[in-house]
Each structure stands twice: as structure tokens, then as C-alpha cells.
Amino acid sequence: MTDYNARFLSATELAGLPFRACGKDVLIDSSVRLIGVENILLGDRVRIDAGTIIIATGPVTIGSWVHIAANCYLEGRGGITIGDFANISSYVSLHSVSDDFSGASLTNPMTPERFKRLQLGEIVLERHALLGTKSTVLPGVRVGEGGVLGAHSMTRGDISAFTIHAGVPARRVKDRRRDLLELEAQFLSENGG
């Protein structure tokens, strides 16, 4: 298989970026847009695929063994924390800040702050969280350990550990199996983790 116009940043290129911290074996596609690099902390073995945009005007912390698929949007003004082994599928949007849509204030980034009523809240994806393609997470949401948000879903509320939520707005569908915890332990023992 031949790749065309696809490459990850080299170790030298990564070392030249002023990350808050950058772990080992990090893969970031050369087309990824990083705004506020100095507010981004990356663990070990993080992969961020083509077309993703990370706006780190607040702290963005990404744990180890994390994958962020192509064309995702992470707006980190309110803070974003992504735990180890989390997976974010393609076209997912994380919005830690949002305009007030009620009409009680002005909106958009071109309007001075004093005329807006922003909703601001840290988004936390705990270990093994999984976000399905084209899902949307709004400010202040916590996805518990092993929690899942299904494809094409949107959540304004927290997702409990090892539960699967789907829909708009997302609702609990069923529990998620915990076998992955044993697999994680086996994987780490075999890989010096």
C-alpha cells in the first residue's frame, strides 16, 4: 500500500514544539492544527490523525495510549482531560465552551466578552472512554471510565462508568462489559507498561 501526502511529524519536529509536555512515541499527522501548543500535555503513544484541530486556549491533557481519529475538533478553553486508552473516533467535536443560544446575549468570537454569556466547563474523558464517529460533547461533561457515546450522538450530561449512551440527546442504552480491564493489564505486562 502506498501513502500519498500522508506523514506524521518527525521526532525533531515534535521536539521543536513548545508542548507543556510530550511523551514518547507520539504520532501527530502533519495536517493537524494545534493552537496554544504550550497548553497541551501529551502522554506516551498518542496518535492524532489528519485534519484534527485542537484549540488549547485552556489546558488540554491527553493521557497515554490515546487515539484521536481524523477530522476531530477539540475546543479546550474550559479544559479537556483525556484519560489513558481513550479513543475518539473521526469527526468528533468536544466543546468545553459554548455560546448562550437563548438570545439573552450576543454570540460568536468577534463579539466582546462583556456582551456574551458563555457556558464554560471542563470535559473529562476517563480511562477507556470511547466516543463514536460524529458525536458531540458539550461543556462540563464527564465520561466515566469505560463510558461510551455512540456514533452521531450528542451529550450535555455525564456518562456513567461502563455504560453506553446514544442519541440526541444521548440516553443510556445498556451497560458495557469490563473485559478490557483484564486485557489492559495483560497488554501492559507484555509491553513493559
**What are the phi and psi torsion angles at 176 (to 5°)?**
-110, 145
pLDDT score for 193: 66
Distance CA 107, CA 113 (A): 9
Q: Is the overall model pTM greater than 0.85, yes or no?
A: yes
User: Which residues of the chain register pLDDT less than 70?
Assistant: 1, 193
Q: Where do the domains of the chain lie, and which CATH numbers do they carry?
A: 33-190 (2.160.10.10)
Bridge pairing between strands 163-166 and 171-175: antiparallel
pLDDT score for 66: 99
pLDDT digit string (tens) for 99-119?
Answer: 999 999 999 989 999 999 999
Angle (CA) 42-45-46 rounded to 5° is 50
Number of other residues whose CB lies within 10 A of the CB of residue 101: 9
pLDDT score for 69: 99
C-alpha distances (whole Å) from 132 to each of 40, 87, 163, 166 are 23, 9, 13, 9
pLDDT score for 24: 97
